[in-house]
């Protein structure tokens, strides 16, 4: 023995599997989006995975929780920002956005152990299982939470600022089938229509019927055709004429937003043609009626422009009442027919 050494026995060995093992699993999350600030709150996060035999379950759960936290950071907070010269602009934690303990939820986990046949331990690996799916899942969950607004998430990382920009772009976007040209010149006037109607069917049936393009078109006087182009978007053709202004065709776009199933929704209407434009918003509320049935209340606030507006405010107000009555009669006929035929 060399001077200064201790007697003992030592051996070193290395193991590397000839083939790698791949873990599997599924992630799901529920999010809530504040439409004023574009902040996202994760209400629930669930992971079910199979990493093979767990050697230390506590470490496995810690890796999953930490991986999800990293994934959330990559999806919505962490982003390197460079200027035109390639200089990093957020190189310190004063500027680099990180998720905190308030932003990362407790992850609910379920483990399935299917030992891998490719190594003596039966392990498949767990280090990246929490982080890899999170970005895509986050984008899908946010887009689903904003269903009906026209927001489509095609990128990560996001950020509250970038999500707000996407929401604003969707608000300003013209409805499908409607030209993006500015409104025709001429006086613009306001038309307000409000009222209530009762149906014998329960709210869920009424809500489903109101989203059917055939039923929706029947409630819009002058609508010649309305086609569904997305779950909450429609476009078609309508004919509008007021007083001395003969009826003319308008390209019609309708977008449903802020939908609360079986309860309420808002609607954006944009119709444009050679004689002017009709655009604005409407809201519909559904409530169960004592003894059965549904009470529907509605309100529409529209802007009329171009030649159509030249007829004067008094004629517009009178026409609005007539058109509302005609629309409700047509709606009632279509709904009665639909409910009489039973589920489609």
- Note the pLDDT tens digit of each residue in 280-294: 888 889 999 888 888
Mean pLDDT on 25-44 = 91
Same domain, 212 and 111: no
Last residue in a domain, options 172, 200, 218? 172
**11 domain residue, yes or no:** no
**5 domain residue, yes or no:** no
- Sheet containing strand 24-33, edge to edge, reads 24-33, 40-50, 107-111
Same domain, 153 and 272: no
Same domain, 324 and 227: yes
**235 domain residue, yes or no:** yes
pLDDT for the residue numbered 83: 85
Q: Mark out the alpha helices in 117-234 (DSSP H runs).
A: 134-145, 160-172, 203-210, 213-218
Range of 317's domain? 189-341
**16 domain residue, yes or no:** no
**183 domain residue, yes or no:** no
Same domain, 157 and 211: no
Least confident range from 169-173, 191-195, 198-202, 273-277: namely: 273-277
Same domain, 195 and 83: no
pLDDT for the residue numbered 186: 47
Same domain, 211 and 164: no
Same domain, 134 and 218: no
- Under a CB-based contact definition with an 8 Å cutoff, are residues 130 and 68 in contact? yes
- Under a CB-based contact definition with an 8 Å cutoff, are residues 143 and 60 in contact? no
CA distances from 181 to 57, 251, 276 (A): 61, 12, 12
Same domain, 204 and 163: no
Structural domains in the chain (count):
2
- pTM for this entry: 0.49
CATH (domain of 330):
3.30.530.20
Same domain, 254 and 151: no
Q: What is the pLDDT of residues 141-168, one digit of tens each?
A: 999 998 878 888 988 888 888 888 888 8
**74 domain residue, yes or no:** yes
Which is nearest to 262 in space by CA: 332, 202, 200, 220? 202
pLDDT for the residue numbered 95: 81
**89 domain residue, yes or no:** yes
Mean pLDDT on 241-256 = 70
Last residue in a domain, options 172, 202, 234? 172
Same domain, 290 and 327: yes
CATH (domain of 52):
3.30.365.10
Least confident range from 128-132, 271-275, 317-321: namely: 317-321
pLDDT for the residue numbered 41: 92
Q: For residue 263, name the pLDDT band (cuts at 50, 70, 90).
A: very high
Same domain, 135 and 272: no
Local structure of residue 266 (DSSP, 8 states): E
pLDDT for the residue numbered 184: 42
pLDDT for the residue numbered 221: 67
Q: Of residues 138 and 319, which shows the higher confidence score?
A: 138
- Under a CB-based contact definition with an 8 Å cutoff, are residues 170 and 151 in contact? yes
Same domain, 31 and 71: yes
**13 domain residue, yes or no:** no
Average pLDDT score over the chain = 80
Least confident range from 46-50, 199-203, 231-235, 302-306: namely: 302-306
* Phi, psi at 39, each rounded to 5°: -80, 145
Least confident range from 22-31, 62-71, 294-303: namely: 294-303
Last residue in a domain, options 118, 141, 172? 172
Q: For residue 185, name the pLDDT band (cuts at 50, 70, 90).
A: very low
Q: Of residues 174 and 212, which shows the higher confidence score?
A: 212
Strand residues in the chain grouped as ranges (E): 24-33, 40-50, 107-111, 189-199, 223-230, 233-242, 245-260, 264-273, 276-288, 294-305
């Amino acid at each position: 023995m060399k001077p200064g050494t201790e007697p003992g026995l030592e051996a070193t060995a290395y193991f590397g599997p000839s083939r790698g093992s791949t873990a599997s699993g599924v992630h799901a999350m529920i999010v809530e989006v504040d439409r004023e600030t574009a902040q996202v709150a994760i209400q629930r996060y669930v992971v079910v995975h199979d990493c093979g035999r767990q050697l230390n379950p506590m470490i496995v759960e810690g890796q999953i929780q930490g991986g999800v936290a990293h994934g959330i950071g990559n999806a919505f907070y962490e982003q390197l920002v460079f200027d035109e010269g390639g200089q990093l602009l957020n190189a310190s934690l004063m500027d680099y956005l990180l998720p905190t303990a308030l932003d990362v939820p407790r992850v609910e986990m379920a483990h399935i152990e299917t030992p891998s046949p490719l190594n003596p331990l039966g392990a498949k690996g767990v280090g990246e299982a929490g982080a890899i799916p999170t970005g895509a899942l986050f984008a899908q969950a946010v887009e689903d939470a904003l269903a009906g607004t026209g927001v489509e998430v095609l990128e990560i990382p996001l950020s509250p600022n970038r999500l707000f920009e996407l929401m604003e772009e969707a608000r300003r976007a013209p409805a499908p089938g409607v030209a993006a040209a500015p409104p025709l010149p001429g006086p613009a006037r306001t038309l307000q229509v409000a009222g209530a109607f009762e149906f014998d069917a329960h709210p869920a049936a009424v809500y489903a019927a109101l989203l059917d393009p055939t039923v929706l078109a029947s409630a819009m006087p002058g609508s010649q055709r309305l086609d569904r182009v997305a779950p909450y978007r429609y476009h078609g053709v309508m004919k509008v004429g007021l007083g001395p202004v003969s009826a003319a065709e308008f390209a019609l776009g309708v977008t449903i937003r802020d939908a609360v199933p079986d309860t309420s929704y808002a609607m954006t209407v944009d119709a444009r043609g050679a004689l002017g434009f009709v655009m604005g918003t409407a809201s519909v509320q559904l409530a169960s009626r004592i003894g059965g049935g549904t009470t529907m209340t509605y309100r529409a606030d529209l802007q009329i422009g171009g030649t159509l507006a030249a007829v004067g405010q008094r004629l517009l107000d009178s026409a609005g009442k007539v058109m509302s009555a005609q629309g409700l009669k047509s709606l009632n006929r279509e709904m009665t027919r639909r409910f009489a035929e039973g589920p489609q």
